[in-house]
Structure 1
Amino acid sequence: MKEIEWKMQGKIKRLTNYTFKFDDRVKEGWFSAVYFLKTRELADKYHKNNIVTMQFFQKSEAVLCGTDEVIALIHEFSDHPEALEIHSLKDGDKISPFETVLTITGPYQEFGYLEGMIDGILARRTSVATSVYNVKKAAELSGKQKPVIFMGDRDDHFMQQAGDGYAAYIGGSTAQATHAMNEWWGKEGMGTMPHALIQLFNGDIVAATRAYEETFPNDELIALVDYNNDVITDSLKVARAFGSKLKGVRVDTSRTLIDQYFLRNQETLGTFDPRGVNAELIFALRRALDEEGFHHVKIVVSGGFNESRIVEFEKQGVPVDMYGVGSSLLKIHIGFTGDLVMLNGEAQAKAGRRYRPNPRLEKVEF
């Protein structure tokens, strides 16, 4: 496994000191479709001096991500990267359907076998960045700045965390669940307490929160309050116990459960779905905290949130201060395509495809 410290210079100004971990077997073609490897061999045998241009695009409105990683990949595994001319948009650029985001010009055998990997990098990073961007935009429909915590550690293979965390950062999430998710942009993971901590204290939310506060006094104190399925009761318990030290409470009620608040106030039932983290529960929690003077305690919600659910909350004015989002952000829904479109400076492409120059592209200098 190679660690590549990539410092982009030249016309494209990017963040620096990313560390990309590439498997040495990329060079052998281990991760490339076999037909690309055969084409590399044939190009080297029959048309070694041909110069081709490959362009990459996708079909959605999106937030581009993965270009630095792709350029580092090419630079590392091309035998002669100086022989290649690369033009690219930047990570974080808003892109349109069919807009060219990257072009590579040079001998096919220098980079063509990486085509599938390039598509995959751009697809995953752009999908995550775009999903986070859309969620962040939804969370701020009310006009207030509301952080989105990227909690995707349990929803995919752990080796994806660094790249996914960076893509989430590009999309607008500045709080991430693990240290690995922050590796490429120089921060540390952010987290409070899991249900496991409360279980260790026999379900005693105050005792668990006190242990956390004593052990991590420099952290913002945010208590997880749904363990006993009695969000309001437990929120008030920790608020009374910790006063101004308590910065927030997190509600993560299972979608299969109805909180004890509704069982005590059954007259409220009948007009909405009372399961899980619902708007009525959060309204009631905010009222209960405010009535006892705990206006400073923020409310964090998590558990099954996605863009549409956040939009629904924001349109209703639900008093949420921060959203924790996981699995919905990791679905790969944006696919990239690489096409050869120029041969020795002349148009040459498969039917239905053509060279589409993009004046927004900037030359990459190695």
Structure 2
Amino acid sequence: MEINLKEKGIIKRLTNKTFCFDERLKNGFFTATYFLKVQKIIKQNLANQSVTMQWFCRKDGVMVCGVDETVALLHTFAINPQSLEIFALNDGDIVSAYEPVLKVRGAYENFGFLENVIDAVLARRSSVATNAHNAVLAANGKELFCMADRQDEILTQIADGYACYVAGIKKVATDALGAWWGGRGSGTMPHALIQMCGGDVVKACEIYKKTFKDEKITALVDYNNDVITDALRVARAFGSDLAAVRVDTSANLIDKFFNDKDTSGFDPKGVCPELIFALRKALDDSGFSWVKIVVSSGFTPQKIALFEAKNCPVDTYGVGSFLVKNDTCGFTGDLVELNGKDEAKFGRKNVRSDRLELVSFV
């Protein structure tokens, strides 16, 4: 089921968004059983009382995401959604611990059964957005490529790609990662293409160019664990048709460039800054200064920051598994008002916030 916010009449949100929901949400398939039970209890015994529920996380510096999706979810699956008052932050806002990101006011039996679903949406989207945001900050304005297409269940790609987009990553590996914001998958070749050419990187690039005549090439140059040799071979063969080279050396390997060199002062394994400095120098010295360098394999904000601190000549960072770590933040929904008066479990309270905006409808 696709839900478009504009079609739902929701304004003050980005009106071109389309979200995909599983129709089984309407039957409680994804709702914790005790929420379904309490909905029935309330209907029969305590109906039509007004409550306010607020959602928050317990960490500082979280980039909230999934709020607009939650608004669409409420107006698709809540009962009498037009009777609800929804106050929300915007996707991309940075929040502090215990700061409410969403408040919903109305009859509990009309929306309370969606509590755990909303928790899950906010937790996943905000975790990915926060991870991506931290990677973007570490990259100091350099391009990031979202390669989080193989680290989790494939159905998470669509929303994960949107969360990365909210954080500022606009280059993605699959169409699914760009589905909610209009992005398209990009990339050139995997190791499989080189393998099927017997390890000949130049041949792999030749048949790539033959097949995709209008595209420039980004050559994957670590297949033979001889990055600089293969990068220069490709550059000499393709000249201006070579846009970039990508280094994806495994963390348990040491590139052949270091075979006769003293590596006692640094860790030469995997994609290390010293290898990238040497690659840049080799390309420049051979007259290929326009060829960009893309790096991937185990990049995190910490590893990116290390490269940036050394002014490593990287043009694009490919980031995968780190982006979709889902333990960055969790969200909790609490009832904090009953019939206009503060009422909450011990230790919780109705947190006032002048950042929340009333979601308006037409």
Mark yes or no: TM-score above 0.5.
yes
Equivalent pair of 1:11/1:363 in contact (CA under 8 Å): no
Aligned residue in 2 for 1:324: 318
Aligned residue in 2 for 1:118: 118
Aligned residue in 2 for 1:133: 133
The 2-side partners of 1:218 and 1:70 are apart by: 41
Partner SS, residue 268 of structure 1? coil
Aligned residue in 2 for 1:313: 307
Equivalent pair of 1:63/1:126 in contact (CA under 8 Å): yes
Aligned residue in 1 for 2:103: 103
Among candidates 291, 298, 301, match of residue 295 of structure 2:
301
The residue correspondences of 1:1-366 to structure 2 (distance < 5 A) are 2-7=1-6, 12=12, 14-60=13-59, 61-140=61-140, 145-263=141-259, 266-332=260-326, 333-366=328-361
The 2-side partners of 1:187 and 1:211 are apart by: 26
Equivalent pair of 1:342/1:355 in contact (CA under 8 Å): yes
The 1-side partners of 2:156 and 2:42 are apart by: 33
Deviations 1:7-54 (A, max 9, x none): 275662x32332222122211211111111111111111111101000
* TM-score of the superposed pair, with normalisation by structure 1: 0.95
Displaced runs of 4 or more, over 4 A: 8-11
Q: CA RMSD in A?
A: 1.2
Deviations 1:260-279 (A, max 9, x none): 1111xx23322211111011
- Specify the code of the residue in structure 2 equivalent to 1:115: E
The 2-side partners of 1:115 and 1:86 are apart by: 14
Q: CA deviation at 1:87?
A: 0.6
Q: Extract unaligned runs of 5+ from structure 2.
A: none
The 1-side partners of 2:183 and 2:308 are apart by: 29
Q: CA deviation at 1:94?
A: 1.6
The 1-side partners of 2:15 and 2:296 are apart by: 33
Q: CA deviation at 1:149?
A: 0.5
Q: CA deviation at 1:6?
A: 2.2
The 2-side partners of 1:10 and 1:118 are apart by: 18
Equivalent pair of 2:162/2:177 in contact (CA under 8 Å): yes
Deviations 1:136-169 (A, max 9, x none): 11011xxxx3111010111000000000000000
Q: Give percent identity, aligned residues only.
A: 53
Q: CA deviation at 1:117?
A: 0.7
* TM-score of the superposed pair, with normalisation by structure 2: 0.96
Task: Evaluate the alpha carbon distance shift between residue 236 and residue 325 of structure 1 in structure 2; reply closer, same or farther with a 3 A threshold.
Answer: same
Equivalent pair of 1:64/1:129 in contact (CA under 8 Å): yes
Q: CA deviation at 1:329?
A: 1.1
The 2-side partners of 1:213 and 1:65 are apart by: 39
Partner SS, residue 264 of structure 2? coil
Deviations 1:301-357 (A, max 9, x none): 000010111111111111111000000111121011100000000000000111012
The 1-side partners of 2:127 and 2:285 are apart by: 42
| Corresponding pairs, count | 358
Equivalent pair of 1:162/1:183 in contact (CA under 8 Å): yes
